[in-house]
Amino acid sequence: MSKTLFDKVWDSHVIRKINDGPDVLFIDRHLIHEVTSPVAFLGLKSRNNSVLFPEKTFATADHNTPTINQHLPVEDPLSANQLKALEQNAADWGITHWGLGHQKNGIVHVVGPENGITLPGATIVCGDSHTSTHGAFGAVAFGIGTSEVEMVLSSQCIMQPKPKKMRINVNGKLGFGVTPKDVALFMISKLSASGATGYFVEYAGDVFKNMSMEGRMTVCNLSIEMGARGGIIAPDEKTFDYIKGRLFTPKEEAWDKAMDYWKTLKTDADAVFDEEINFIAIDIEPMITYGTNPGMGTGISNYIPKAESVEGGVASYKKSLEYMGFHEGDKMIGKKVDFVFLGSCTNGRIEDFRAFASIVKGRKKADNITAWLVPGSHDVEAKIKEEGLLDIINAAGFELREPGCSACLAMNDDKVPAGKLAVSTSNRNFEGRQGPGSRTLLASPLVAAATAVTGVLTDPRTLLINN
């Protein structure tokens, strides 16, 4: 029978099917961080269970970590306590742990791929919804809750019903100044923040084929923002080139064997999806959000839609605009911005810093902007320096911080103050996500850069040289 890529990976990991119940799914790779794992380890202990396969779990500290002075002790006692718990649990069970200051430390969804933990055809879970990121490699990857973290620790399995399948095809060539982030925000704005709930999404078509691995990660990362369990893209030469030779990637014979398997990982020509959606690349322009969920986005040159023209509840829509301090019909370009955040597991990779640098090069940071530039990992940080991007960024009046989740979720010291407006390359514009009372506009690194040098929301195409 014909199968989709998702079917092939999922089905080959099912140990048992329960009638009118979930599948028992084997997990190849388990990533953990300090926030969602401590209670799972407590549960493990209270049930007298042990970690079944410690070599399949990998720990990194990211959510709570400060992004300056990482060599000093963490000031917040609660954060320090969680970091300590992660370190201790990892040590107790023999789990690889990249704590603060470790050369391999960084955001869980950035360091996984960088170190060959993320592989095509694998099942990957983490107590974090943006685990969908790893689908960029043809893995079935999704976020789980803490109870499930405990399940994976003790049994290397979780129990989940198989999601439905959706394919989104985007064909044609992307316009000037349009990035993978814009493609994702465009799809979310069309499907809404809940439009793909219950589905696993395969991304197909020219646009994803031509996209870099970093870009594919950005797109898959944001799958959860339209409600999907995860996103997946068929692995190709680009994928294999990316993973080859990394720390945990299979080597020599094991590599050849894995390659034989990986090459079978594509959707059969006549496989059927529960839902199929088509978009055309040329319809996508640089995107910006204006509300308090990622589905409330539009082309940057547009005006905020009227409540009557949007689907769903008018009251919730108005409440959202009220929180943002915006009005129906407002123009987005030209809005005065206070903060710019470049980073997160969505846009904290080398390509994102290259994009940012391409705009700020030879320009100066606007005086009214506070900018946080936060690499996703030490590896990214090292590349920024190697490629000379740091010099460009510094010359324009920006500084680089140390790796971590930073202002993406305001669990650490990087918080946007109440009432302030931030252009952020992260993934969520929920009320208070970047700090109590903060207001967030989600955008690409190019939009962030253009705004950082002008001080107001700016269409990056006006600052880029089109050649």
Partner 1 sequence: MAYDKFEILKSTAVPLPVENVDTDQIIPARFLKATERVGFGDNLFRDWRYNPDNTPKAEFVLNNPVYKGKILVGGKNFGSGSSREHAVWAIYDYGFRCVVSSFFADIFRGNCLNIGVLPVQVSAEFLDKIFAAIKANPDTEIEINLPNQTITLLESGDQESFDINSYKKENMLNGYDDIDYLTKMKSEIQEFASARPF
Q: How far is the CB of 428 from ligand SF4 (least distance, A)?
A: 7
Cβ distance to partner 1 smaller for residue 103 or 316: 316
- 136 contributes a contact to ligand SF4 by CB under 6 A: no
Cβ distance to partner 1 smaller for residue 15 or 91: 15
The listed partner (partner 1, ligand SF4, none) that binds 323, CB under 5 to 8 Å by sort, is: none
Q: State how far the Cα of 49 lies from the Cα of 37, in Å rounded to an integer.
A: 15
Cβ distance to ligand SF4 smaller for residue 120 or 375: 375
Q: State how far the Cα of 372 lies from the Cα of 347, in Å rounded to an integer.
A: 13
Binders in 288-347 for ligand SF4, by CB under 6 A = 344-345
Q: How far is the CB of 265 from ligand SF4 (least distance, A)?
A: 26
Beta strands in 262-393 (DSSP E): 275-280, 287-289, 297-299, 339-342, 370-373
Cβ distance to partner 1 smaller for residue 43 or 305: 43
| Ramachandran sector of residue 406 (left: φ over 0; alpha: ψ -120 to 50; beta: rest) | left
CB count in 10 Å sphere of residue 368: 12
Q: How far is the CB of 220 from ligand SF4 (least distance, A)?
A: 13
Q: State how far the Cα of 231 lies from the Cα of 247, in Å rounded to an integer.
A: 25
Q: What are φ and ψ of residue 207, in 5° steps?
A: -60, -40
Binders in 57-116 for ligand SF4, by CB under 6 A = 62-63, 107-109
Residue 30's alpha-carbon distances to 24, 135, 175, 232, 274, in angstroms, are 16, 14, 37, 18, 28
The listed partner (ligand SF4, partner 1, none) that binds 107, CB under 5 to 8 Å by sort, is: ligand SF4
Q: State how far the Cα of 136 lies from the Cα of 119, in Å rounded to an integer.
A: 10
Cβ distance to partner 1 smaller for residue 144 or 393: 144
| Ramachandran sector of residue 421 (left: φ over 0; alpha: ψ -120 to 50; beta: rest) | beta
Q: What are 415-419's contacts with CB under 8 Å, separation 24+?
A: 416/338, 416/339, 416/341, 416/440, 419/325
Q: How far is the CB of 179 from ligand SF4 (least distance, A)?
A: 18
| Ramachandran sector of residue 69 (left: φ over 0; alpha: ψ -120 to 50; beta: rest) | left
Asked whether the beta carbons of 208 and 233 are under 8 A apart, the reply is yes
The listed partner (partner 1, ligand SF4, none) that binds 42, CB under 5 to 8 Å by sort, is: partner 1
Q: How far is the CB of 122 from partner 1 (least distance, A)?
A: 7
The listed partner (partner 1, ligand SF4, none) that binds 345, CB under 5 to 8 Å by sort, is: ligand SF4
Q: How far is the CB of 178 from ligand SF4 (least distance, A)?
A: 23
Q: How far is the CB of 403 from ligand SF4 (least distance, A)?
A: 10
Nearest to residue 136, comparing CAs of 153, 154, 123, 120? Answer: 120
Binders in 5-64 for ligand SF4, by CB under 6 A = 62-63
Q: How far is the CB of 274 from ligand SF4 (least distance, A)?
A: 27
Q: How far is the CB of 89 from ligand SF4 (least distance, A)?
A: 19
Cβ distance to partner 1 smaller for residue 76 or 338: 76
Show the binding pattern over residues 380-409: x = contacts ligand SF4 (CB under 6 A), - = does not.
-------------------------x--xx
Cβ distance to ligand SF4 smaller for residue 60 or 123: 60
Q: State how far the Cα of 86 lies from the Cα of 96, in Å rounded to an integer.
A: 11
Binders in 407-426 for ligand SF4, by CB under 6 A = 408-409, 426
Reading the block at residue 444, the tokens are 């690409």
Half-sphere exposure of 205 (CA within 13 A, CB side): 18
Asked whether the beta carbons of 425 and 341 are under 8 A apart, the reply is yes
Residue 176's alpha-carbon distances to 180, 209, 463, in angstroms, are 12, 18, 12
User: Which of 23, 128, 202, 214 is close enough to bind ligand SF4 by CB under 6 A?
Assistant: 128
The listed partner (partner 1, ligand SF4, none) that binds 433, CB under 5 to 8 Å by sort, is: partner 1
Cβ distance to ligand SF4 smaller for residue 34 or 202: 34
Q: How far is the CB of 184 from ligand SF4 (least distance, A)?
A: 13
- 134 contributes a contact to ligand SF4 by CB under 6 A: no
DSSP assignments along 187-206, one per residue: HHHHH-TTTTTTEEEEEESH
State the residues that interact with ligand SF4 by CB under 6 A.
62-63, 107-109, 128, 130, 344-345, 405, 408-409, 426-427
